[in-house]
Chain A
Amino acid sequence: MLFSEMSAKETLKTTKQRMSQYQEELLEQLNAIEVDAHWFRRVFHTFAASFLFYYLLPDEEWINLLKIIIPIIIVASMVVTEYRRLRGILDHQRFFGLRNYEKNRPASYLYFGIAVLLLFLFFPQQIAIPCLLCAAFTDPIIGETRFYLGKKKAYVIGFVISVFFFLITWHQASWWVVILVSVIGASGALVGEMKKLRFFDDDFMIQMLPALLLWLFWQGSLALGLSILPAKMILPI
């Protein structure tokens, strides 16, 4: 009786040890995946700067038509994919790098894609390029520096970087336009990144807010008889 009691205790102890070891291994692997997904998300942002290739495409009638149709098809397929995921037809686990809060709402990549589509279709490249660069680089840089330097310093760095993007795109305009556009655009990008809204992701807002502000500024100037838009930064091949 005593012997079997001892044996049962030992078995229980061994099982407990194995369970905790298994739990530790599992947690370690999940953490590793999380760390990896973190950098994956960052690289996904910087990758988006390649979409600027769009403006290099030749300026011919049939290509111009494709420039409208193909981005719409891509974003439409993203909408369908997200719809299927949210309805549970596609498993959430199949999507690498999604955050927990994206489980029950459209994922950031969809917002990002819609914003890029709107920039391409409705805004001149002088406005679209710096907004896209802000989403591609300012967003991940703020994300990384926030971790090491704190929120305030990260936002200051983000603002300076955004100013730089608007400066390089508008440097051929008059000096007062360059200053105004840089301040308005960078402020819009920063507010878009800082403000967390329920229905609009920051990946959408960081592009659309500065774009809308600059569009209003541009249209207002046109109404006053001023043409502020500088020469195009990217010329078609």
Chain B
Amino acid sequence: MLSIQKLLLRLELWFAPSLLLVPIIVSVVFLLEWYTKGYITGSSEYNGELILGLLLILGNLLFDIPFVRSIRTLKKKQ
């Protein structure tokens, strides 16, 4: 039982925040790159960054929500 609690604690403290935050930070960097170098200067060369930024943020949110829910449910049960 103790090991389950330890795993859960480690998941909450270390893995979950990084798994959720890193993709969002990376997607913001992609979007900023597109905005500063592509949108403002009117260059279409950076459209790839825009597409990937949006893809990263949407794709991650799609799975992040049920993941956070599952942790909360598990925490309640514990």
Decide: A43 and B19 in contact? CB cutoff 8 A: yes
Q: Residues of A contacting B70 with CB < 8 Å? A: 35-36, 38-40
- When chains A and B are docked, how far (Å) is the Cα of A68 from the Cα of B51? 26
Q: How many residues of B contact A (CB 8 A)?
A: 39
Taking the complex as formed, is A235 at the interface, i.e. its CB lies under 8 A from any CB of chain B? yes
Query: What interface size band does chain A fall in?
Result: 35 or more
Q: Residues of A contacting B33 with CB < 8 Å? A: 56, 235, 237
* Max count, chain B CB within 10 A of own CB: residue among A38, A42, A49: A49
Q: Residues of A contacting B19 with CB < 8 Å? A: 40, 43-44, 47
A-B contact count (CB 8 A): 106
Q: Contact string, B34-49, partner A, CB cutoff 8 A, digits 1/0?
A: 0001000000011011
Is chain A's binding surface mostly helix, strand, loop or mixed?
helix
Decide: B51 and A168 in contact? CB cutoff 8 A: yes
Contact surface of B with A, Cβ cutoff 8 Å: 1, 3-4, 7-8, 10-11, 15, 19-20, 22-23, 25-26, 29-30, 33, 37, 45-46, 48-49, 51-52, 55-56, 59-60, 62-64, 66-67, 70-71, 73-74, 77-78
